[in-house]
Amino acid sequence: MAAWNPPQPVWKRNLAGILDFLLAFLGFGYLLASAGLGRTLPNGGLTFGPGPFALLVLLIVAYFVVLGRTGGTVFQRLFGMKRGKASNEDDAIARQF
């Protein structure tokens, strides 16, 4: 679990997570659709096959992993949330990956 310095309220952490997910989903979905990996539906919607959908999920996971390790995601930075020093247990878990 992340340690925040100073401790952040639950609503702020949850809102940042939800907004980051929406940003990653819509942003990466738009990029994949622009690259021609999506199909347009007759009602104006967009659909992805299983391959592009798997790529979308992979990109969303990479967004959280990479930005989480490099100072925080976009909305964590916008909300001024700073990570504190990790405990020894967190360091041991992080070294496993």
Q: pLDDT digit string (tens) for 44-55? A: 777 888 989 999
Q: Report pTM.
A: 0.75
Share of the chain above pLDDT 70, in %: 80
CA distance to 22, 29, 82, per residue, from 50 (Å): 20, 13, 37
Q: How many structural domains does the chain have?
A: 1
pLDDT of residue 1: 53
2 occurs within a structural domain: no
| pLDDT for residue 58 | 97
- Give the pLDDT band of residue 92 (cuts 50, 70, 90): low
Residue 96: pLDDT band by 50, 70, 90 thresholds?
low
- Does the structure show a pLDDT above 80 at 78? yes
Q: Is residue 4 part of a domain?
A: no
- Whether residue 91 lies inside any domain: the answer is no
User: What pLDDT does 8 receive?
Assistant: 85
Phi, psi of 16 (to 5 degrees): -60, -40
59: containing domain: 10-83
